[in-house]
Structure 1
Amino acid sequence: MNIAFYGSSILSSYWNGAATYYRGLLRALAAHGYEITFYEPDAYDRQKNRDIEPPDWCSVVVYEATPEALRRVAQRAAQADIVVKASGVGFEDEALLEAILSHARPEALKVFWDVDAPATLAQLRAEPDHPLHAMLGRLDLVLTYGGGEPVVYQYRSAGARECVPIYNALDPGTHHPVSSDERFSCDLAFLGNRLPDRERRVEAFFLEPAVSLPGRRFVIGGSGWHDKPMPPNVVSLGHVGTNDHNAFNATPLAVLNISRDSMAENGFSPATRVFEAAGAGACLITDAWLGLELFLKPGEEVLVARDGGDVAEILDGLTANRAAQIGRAALQRVLREHTYAHRAVDTDRIFREFAKRPKLEAAE
């Protein structure tokens, strides 16, 4: 089967946290025999900040961020057996979904793949006239990259025929242990773009511990932090390309994961960074969220903090040997249970199961 996948970008992680998710999962699906074409708009300077060139396991079509170019690529949905529209493409998302649904063949499997389901669902609750409300009934399936049963229930209540989470995971060919890099040498590192629903939690879980531990070195990577006031023991690196993620994760004593507000409130939403860090053998400290134990065991494979005070306390008592032990345990766990090869098996099964349903349901 062939897939037409409309997403933000597979070539660039610049202002695009879903890049490694797309890459890992679609490469694993290609290994199952899927022929994939990824359509991405030339937006947000992503094409000027590419992390990879077009891969051999996926065709990539970059189109201009104009209504006419959008219409042209949407017409190509008619050639696909499976048509996927991801959330957060970044240019005329609702118009793109409408155009794709209009051009997809009746027998094609039509999928909305939400890479930020808690935020999307909050928007749907706040906007009863949002166009996605009307389009959910025209879709065969909603996939999400997290959220667990709370998200499944909410999407079904909103009118989706079915919703299935496909969680983030590790691509061991991309993220793995490497030698340390002096650029990222520190006691605690955090990687994430500056976003409105994350900034307050970054202040609480990262900047406040830095203030309370003035003798420790902290490093923050990600776009948008350049004009954010930082304590003197914090180094701000700006955008860190995916080619440097392994060293960024493998070098510090510990790496911090901070969920966005909506994901922390909903739970069951492990960020891509969780698996990237574990894959590099990093000692991960994460904010607390419901469902964490489904992916890593607290106290043995990950350290959990309820607030910035916990982060400071954990870091103050963390030894290099203890950090290395946790990192090794996390790496073993994700290799055993949480790779994109595991996720692709599930996704392939779901695609094949749901591909049989639309013809009957469309006739209702």
Structure 2
Amino acid sequence: MKLVVFGLTITSSWGNGHATLWRGLTRALIARGHRVVFFEKDVPWYAGARDLWEIPGGELVLYPSWDAVLPYARSHLADADVAMVTSYCADGVQAARAVLDSPAQLRTFYDMDTPVTLDGLKSGREVPYLPPEGLGGFDLVLSFTGGSALEQLRTTLGARRTAPLYGHVDPDVHRPVPPLEGPRADLSYLGTYAEDRQAALEALFIEPARRMPGHRFAIAGAQYPHDFPWTGNVFFQRHLPPADHPAFFCSSALTLNVTRRAMAEMGFCPSGRLFEAAACGVPILSDAWDGLDAFFAPGDEILTASTTDEAVAAISLPRDELTRIAAAARERTLAAHTSERRAMELEEMLDAAVRGEGWRSDADAAEGSLAMEA
């Protein structure tokens, strides 16, 4: 099938944490015989931090303005099997109109930021990438978040059929590799600074660093303020390109995942970082949130903590126990959370939508609810 996607950015992982996910998914879809055309607005702040310039086997369309690209977009939509608009698309409203007016067999919306979308609507804020009439015109609305978010997309935005398309990892990109030169960290954290993650980061990372001065802690990410509460045993590295993520993960005995507030409150919204670290064979310590056990078994495949004491206990576990947990998580990830697996799930969702049927993911089956409803 031919998929035409209007998204935020696939070319700059600095500008969009989901860029790595799109790269894995498009690669898997193309490997499975599909054609992918990705439209991205060419803006200076992404162009200046670009780390992808083409989609091998697919087509990347970088355009200066919506008016300039509209005729070309329509030409691709004319023979598209699937037309898709994503959250935070720079020209989301205009792209949605073009998709809904197109003859594509399936017209879809993929909300990769569902908790943010719903939180914005609840707070009365404008959500600029949403069509003013909601999502009722689309044949299928995909969500990066499962659980109750699917029902809320239907009741709040009028989506007629919803299904979860969760995060994933390309194991050819994220895999065990030699660590970076120098001492290994006892705990690492990879993520852009976010104010709504700060309280959890201080409890699970900064305070353990204060209590464990003989241990080494490492952070990599962008936008950290000058007044961040650094300690002498916390080592910082600015934004890492995706190619360097595996070595960063593999340079630590344990890595931390901290979920943004809206995502944690919604539940069933695993970060792609979880699957990346697991695919690299590195044990994970995560904050706890509803639905986590649908992706990894706490205690067996992942460690969780809500307090500093629990984080310190996890950091202090014997290395052989951490190795066992990491191996179990990698096995689970390679079986259930790869980009190829999500591409197969997407195929099943699209086929089900064409037939007017429902679709159930493993995660939502574990939750006990139908994942896709009309």
TM-score (norm 2): 0.87
Query: Who is 2:172 aligned against?
Result: 173
Task: Give the SS at the match of 2:189.
Answer: strand
Map of 2:107 onto structure 1: 110
Question: Does residue 184 of structure 2 align to residue 185 of structure 1?
Answer: yes
Query: Is the alpha carbon distance of 1:217 and 1:70 closer, same or farther for their aligned partners in structure 2, counting shifts above 3 Å?
Result: farther
Tell whether 2:242 aligns with 1:242. Answer: yes
Equivalent pair of 1:39/1:73 in contact (CA under 8 Å): no
**Secondary structure of 2:52's partner?**
coil
Letter of the 1:85 partner, please give it. Answer: V
1:276-291 maps to which residues of 2 (within 5 A)? 276-291=276-291
Tell me the secondary structure at the aligned position of residue 45 of structure 1. helix
Give the Cα separation in 2 of the matches to 1:195 and 1:73.
37
Deviations 1:300-319 (A, max 9, x none): 1111111333212321x223
CA distance in structure 2 between the partners assigned to 1:73 and 1:88 by the alignment: 21
Give the superposition deviation at 1:3.
0.9
Q: SS of 1:135's equivalent?
A: coil
Shift of 1:98: 3.0
The change in CA–CA distance for 1:184 and 1:10 in structure 2 (over 3 A counts) is farther
CA distance in 1, matches of 2:78, 2:196: 37
1:240 positional shift: 0.8
1:292 corresponds to: 292
Structure 2: any 5+ residue segments left out of the alignment?
Answer: 358-374
Q: Does the 8 Å contact 1:141/1:162 carry over to 2?
A: yes
Query: Which stretch shifts more, 7-16 or 196-205?
Result: 196-205
Deviations along 1:25-81, whole A, 9 cap, x unmatched?
A: 2222222321100111223622332333413232111122x4434645643433422
For the pair 1:149 / 2:130, whether they are aligned, the reply is: no
SS, match of residue 333 in structure 2: helix
Contact 1:51 1:243 in 2 (8 A): no
On the 8 A contact 1:136/1:160 being kept in 2, the answer is yes
1:337 to 2:349 alignment: no
Q: Partner residue of 1:227?
A: 226
For residue 263 of structure 1, report the CA deviation from its aligned partner. Answer: 1.0
> What letter corresponds to residue 283 of structure 2 in structure 1?
C
**Alpha-carbon deviations, 1:74-114, whole Å to 9, x = none?**
4343342211111123x243343234434x22x53111101
CA contact (8 A) 1:111 1:139 kept: yes
Q: Distance in 2 between matches of 1:323 and 1:247?
A: 18
Say if 2:41 is the partner of 1:41.
yes
Cα distance in structure 1, aligned partners of 2:51 and 2:37:
18
More helix by share: 1
Q: What is the aligned-residue identity percentage? A: 34
Letter in 1 for 2:214: G
Task: Give the AA of the match of 1:113.
Answer: Y
Among 124, 128, 131, the residue aligned to 1:127: 124
Q: Secondary structure at the match of 2:78?
A: helix
Q: Does the residue aligned with 1:3 lie in a helix, a strand or coil?
A: strand
Question: Residue by residue, what CA displacement relative to the aligned partner does 1:242-262 show, whole Å, maximum 9, x if unpaired?
Answer: 000111111101100000001
Q: Which amino acid aligns with 1:157?
A: T
Question: Per the alignment, in what secondary structure is the counterpart of residue 24 of structure 1?
Answer: helix
| TM-score for the superposition, normalised by structure 1 | 0.89
Aligned mates of 1:200, 1:44 — CA distance in 2: 33
Per the TM alignment, residue 4 of structure 1 is displaced from its structure 2 partner at its CA by 0.7
Shift, 1:139, TM fit: 0.9
CA contact (8 A) 2:92 2:131 kept: no
Q: One-letter code of the match for 2:96?
A: L
| 2-structure distance, mates of 1:129, 1:45 | 23
- 1:211 and 1:94 map into 2 onto residues whose CA distance is 47
Instruction: Give the Cα separation in 2 of the matches to 1:38 and 1:241.
Output: 21
| Cα separation, 2, equivalents of 1:192 and 1:121 | 23
Matches within 5 A, 1:211-226: 211-226=210-225
* Aligned pairs for 1:13-162 within 5 A: 13-43=13-43, 45-64=45-64, 66-69=65-68, 71-72=70-71, 74-75=73-74, 76-89=76-89, 91-102=90-101, 104-105=102-103, 107-127=104-124, 131-132=130-131, 134-145=133-144, 147-158=145-156, 159-162=158-161
Q: Verify the 8 A CA contact 1:184 1:219 in the aligned structure 2.
A: no
Secondary structure of residue in 1 paired with 2:208: helix
State whether residues 168 and 339 of structure 2, in contact with CA within 8 Å, keep that contact through their aligned partners in structure 1.
Answer: yes
Deviations 1:330-352 (A, max 9, x none): 11111122222222111101112
Q: Which runs of 5+ in 1 are unaligned?
A: 359-364
